[in-house]
Structure 1
Amino acid sequence: MPRPPGSGHCLPELKPEAAMIPVKGYEGQKLAVLGLGRSGLATARALIAGGAEALLWDDSPEARAKAEAEGFICTDLTRAGAFDGVAALITSPGIPHLYPTPNKVIARALEAGVPLDNDIGLFFRSFAGPEWDDFDITPRVICVTGSNGKSTTTALIHHILDVAGRATQMAGNIGRGVLDIEPAQDGEVVVLELSSYQTDLARSLTPDVAVFTNLSPDHLDRHAGMGGYFAAKRRLFAEGGPDRAVIGVDEVEGRFLANQLSEGPQDDRVIRISSGQKLEQFGWAVFARKGFLAEWRRGKQVASIDLREVVGLPGAHNHQNACAAYAACRSLGIGPKLIEAAFQSFAGLPHRSQLVGEKAGVRFINDSKATNVDAAEKALQAFPKIRWIAGGMGKEGGISRLLPHLGSVVKAYLIGHSARDFALELGDTPHEICETMERAVLRAAEEAVAGEVVLLAPAAASFDQYPNFEVRGDDFAARVKAWLG
């Protein structure tokens, strides 16, 4: 694509066959893009495909170099006058826009009155096109948010749709950037995982089905506390007005949200879900108890699925994910039997209760995504006898809240920056400070006996030893596979 006359700011020539959602409504206008990771570069390409001019910047020289290697030209958005004539600033989700303090580029945009948005907002304003007039079935968008289980729920919905023969794409906080997907086909369903960083800022949020899994403390510095964190999640429902809302009601915030969205307990536009509670009194509910999923509508049970032998969804937390995915897919008219078959073929996601291997009756489970206490709690409740590998960059509050849930832990093997702090909080639970993943896997594998599980569920961030939880999980898996031979 030719560079706009006199711009000097963009861009690489885009291949005509490149799949993306061209951004609409900004043709001939200048937009600034802050943050040049996966979503930022996809945003820049989509803006150019829609006829806009993109001014790119990242505080990291390495990120700028990567963008320039692709053919982009970066523009210093920190300089005076950088936002003259700019229609909007599109920022990547990891960049603070309010708390604890705004990024300096965002602060300049706010001072200049330049609208702030992100790729999620651009997606919702650009996804529909005139070609939809010829479709038999209008494409749908399902959005999944919450503290824990978002990725598994999103992937499970996508898997069910695929098994059902529905055209589907998965994007957002998992897989591809939202503007990097292909334009919709007739009847297609796009499934998006959205973090609080993404829902907090998007100026347009219009999902057809919105899912709220659960809420537990996380990212509190970014949202100035639990109230701000919940408010960011709530925007998906309050701003978007979905046709159907699937709400986890195992915490008070979920019950409050379901209450706000419904006109009464029989309002079946809200599907309440739970892992552990009976919800028979509502117009539409899906809940799991003692390993069985049940769907109830207007006081009658209409379906049941035995989840106990579904290998890809172990434990009560995954049963909650199953309820959420089931409810979302039932709202699209997919039958219970087909959903049950899809459950059985779901392999799970890497780093989320992932079975890495087994030897002599000992299973090795990678739940590196359990980066906070609540996620670790759910992992610890999924197995009866556990050799627990934990630690990393501990979060505020430590792991004291896990003490009531350590009954299944035979021994803990502690790694990383917070190993000694965690050791002081474990009470009578046997433990060993291993510091490194290599030693923790070795010691746990040597001591484990048949019927036990060696579980990586760190209850901590990875940044002390690894760039992200995926690399940490890969290291665990590599150490396990070396042990298994």
Structure 2
Amino acid sequence: MIPVRGYAGATVAVLGLGRSGLSAARALREGGAEVIAWDDNEAARDAATLEGFALKELAKPGALDGAACLIVSPGIPHLYPAPNKVVRAAWDAGVPVDNDISLFFRSFATPAWDNFERMPKVIAVTGSNGKSTTSALIHHILTHAERPTQLAGNIGRGVLDLDPAIDGEVVVLELSSYQTDLARALTPDVAVFTNLTPDHLDRHDGMGGYFAAKRRLFAEGGPDRCVIGVDEDEGRYLANQLSGGNGDDRVIQVSSGRKLSGPGWSVFAKKGFLAEMRKGKQVASIDLRGVAGLPGAHNHQNACAAYAACRTIGLAPRVIEAAFHSFAGLPHRSQLVAEKDGVKYVNDSKATNVDSAAKALQAFRNIRWICGGLEKDGGLEALLPHLGGVTKAYVIGREAPSFAMKLGDLPHEVCSDMVTAVARAAEDAEPGDTVLLAPAAASFDQYDSFERRGEDFIACVERL
């Protein structure tokens, strides 16, 4: 646990008692704060009561009187589409609103660091797609290189559940836009931006607000190094804003699919080969085509970002390359579940939006595509140019017929549920085919998370 510093003897309110909220409450108490907490969910309140936290309905008049701060969990809207009523109450009472990410950055460094030979570092990763894989890959590379490391944030543990730093440690944080948007303190040593595609637009009032939330990780804390994916205009804009001019190696540009040139520092992947360029010269190259845990161009982009982040802290290219080959990938992200009679079964349930599904579809050929679910804003039009490798679609979800109608001339079958879709795809599949779950939609019409949807796919495959 990271005890929160700066609130000893003060009253701090915590709104939301899920994983991050309870973690923040414990760390605040460990740091000497008096915690008052609330969650609209009765089970969450009961769990907090069992841990001895005082409950107080924070939306009631006067509930925040005397509070030094309000800590808000990431799932609770603080501005769009409308501020939570407790957040409004904090504004009216003049109580600062913050989150656990900010508490971590304020509390991670301690006087004990004065005795360390190598200062601990924080690598923070954000973006629309690939941030989980990139974060896990960085952590894996560090582990392979025998560097002390911990992984937390939007993946793994809550940030305040981390152990206190030790000499030379590197903490890897995956941060969502919900987390970066509200945090008052954001001071990573290395910040990584993977890419930007439409997602969570209701929480940020459109693409501009969404990008602004991501940008805060770079603009607020002034990281020593920035790794920026430049395959979209927003990334190119961000890289340009952060750079002091040609040859500024504080900014490393990353791309998948095109060669980057110029006097600066860049890492790109093209036709399956990763190249590192510095001052106009290639200094390293890695063949990614045989890396089983990183299939497809989208994973090659993740590999470039992780490679660049690890190079900033001094790891050698061959050490990173060796670690790539032992990386198994993450569940529900281009996860090879099984291979039977020459047919591969791949679980990419995390492909909850059109862009991530398009990238998954480009990673394979002869695809039997399981898709559908709760469709997100923007429709499926942007996905249609990427269906060339799909032999047939098998559509699931409560609105499967309407989803199927938007697939144009693509051969398809409305299956509604996962059991039927997997069975029909397996019956139709021929040697060399890939049965791919890449829904291009949220899971909440039939499942409570993309993980549960992926687990259902795996269970159906295992029953074949």
Smaller-chain TM-score range? Answer: over 0.9
Gaps of 5+ in 2: none
Q: Which residue of 1 aligns with 2:6?
A: 25
SS in 2 for 1:200: helix
Residue number in structure 2 paired with 1:39: 20
Q: CA offset at residue 360 of structure 1?
A: 0.7
Q: Is the 8 A contact 2:123 2:190 kept in 1?
A: yes
Contact 2:7 2:31 in 1 (8 A): yes
State the match for 1:115 in structure 2: 96
1:202 corresponds to: 183
User: Aligned to 2:182, what secondary structure does the other structure show?
Assistant: coil
Distance 2:263 2:435 in 1: 40
Q: Which moved more, 1:378-387 or 1:73-82?
A: 73-82
Structure 1: distance between partners of 2:246 and 2:82: 41
Match of 1:256 among 237, 249, 259: 237
Deviation of the 1:198 alpha carbon: 0.2
Q: Is the 8 A contact 1:386 1:452 kept in 2?
A: yes
| Correspondences of 1:33-432 after superposition (within 5 Å) | 33-432=14-413
2:445 counterpart residue number? 464
SS, match of residue 88 in structure 1: strand
Q: Secondary structure at the match of 2:109?
A: coil
Shift of 1:265: 2.8
Instruction: Please give the alpha-carbon distance, in whole angstroms, between the structure 2 residues aligned to 1:39 and 1:265.
Output: 41
Opposite residue 471 of structure 1, the aligned amino acid is: R
Per-residue CA shift, 1:328-367, capped at 9, x if unaligned? Answer: 0000000000000000000000000001111011110000
CA contact (8 A) 2:35 2:54 kept: no
CA deviation after TM superposition for structure 1 residue 120, in Å? 0.3
Give the deviation of 1:397 after TM superposition: 2.1
Per the TM alignment, residue 60 of structure 1 is displaced from its structure 2 partner at its CA by 1.3
- Tell me the distance in 2 between the aligned counterparts of 1:39 and 1:189: 21
Distance 1:340 1:323 in 2: 11
- Between 74-83 and 49-58, the greater mean CA deviation after superposition: 74-83
Q: Cα offset for 1:400?
A: 1.6
- What secondary structure is seen at the aligned counterpart in 2 of 1:364? strand
Measure, in 1, the Cα distance between the counterparts of 2:87 and 2:117: 43
Q: Residues 69-119 of structure 1, C-alpha deviation per residue, up to 9 Å, x if partnerless? A: 333331111211001000000000010000010111111111111000000
Query: Would you say 1:446 and 2:427 are equivalent positions?
Result: yes
| Alignment RMSD (CA, Å) | 0.7
Counterparts of 1:406 and 1:70, CA distance in 2: 51
Q: Contact 1:391–1:419 at 8 Å: present in 2 too?
A: yes
How far the C-alpha of 1:273 sits from its partner, in A, is 0.2
One-letter amino acid of the counterpart of residue 139, structure 1? P
Structure 1: distance between partners of 2:263 and 2:163: 38
Could you give the per-residue CA deviations for residues 398-449 of structure 1, whole angstroms, max 9, x where no partner exists?
Answer: 2121111000000000000331222111111100000001111111111111
Distance in structure 2 (CA, Å) of the matches to 1:257 and 1:223:
18
Structure 2: distance between partners of 1:225 and 1:27: 39
Identical positions, percent: 72
CA contact (8 A) 2:101 2:183 kept: yes
8 A Cα contact 1:249 1:258, kept in partner: yes
Displacement of 1:167: 0.1
Cα distance between partner residues in 2 of 1:421 and 1:365? 25
* One-letter identity of the residue aligned with 2:266: A
**Native 8 Å contact 1:398 1:422 kept in 2:** no
- Please, which moves more after superposition, 418-427 or 169-178? 418-427
Moved over 3 A (4+): none
Q: Are the aligned partners of 2:268 and 2:304 in contact in 1 as well (CA < 8 Å)?
A: yes
Q: Is the 8 A contact 1:246 1:271 kept in 2?
A: yes
TM-score calculated relative to the size of structure 2: 0.99
Q: What SS does the corresponding residue of 1:326 show, helix, strand or coil?
A: helix
Aligned residues: 464
Q: Write out per-residue CA displacement over residues 25-46 of structure 1, whole angstroms, 9 at most, x where no aligned residue.
A: 0000000000000000000000
Residue identity matched to 1:42: S
**Match of 1:11?**
none
| Native 8 Å contact 2:36 2:53 kept in 1 | no
After TM superposition, give the deviation of residue 277 of structure 1 in Å: 1.4
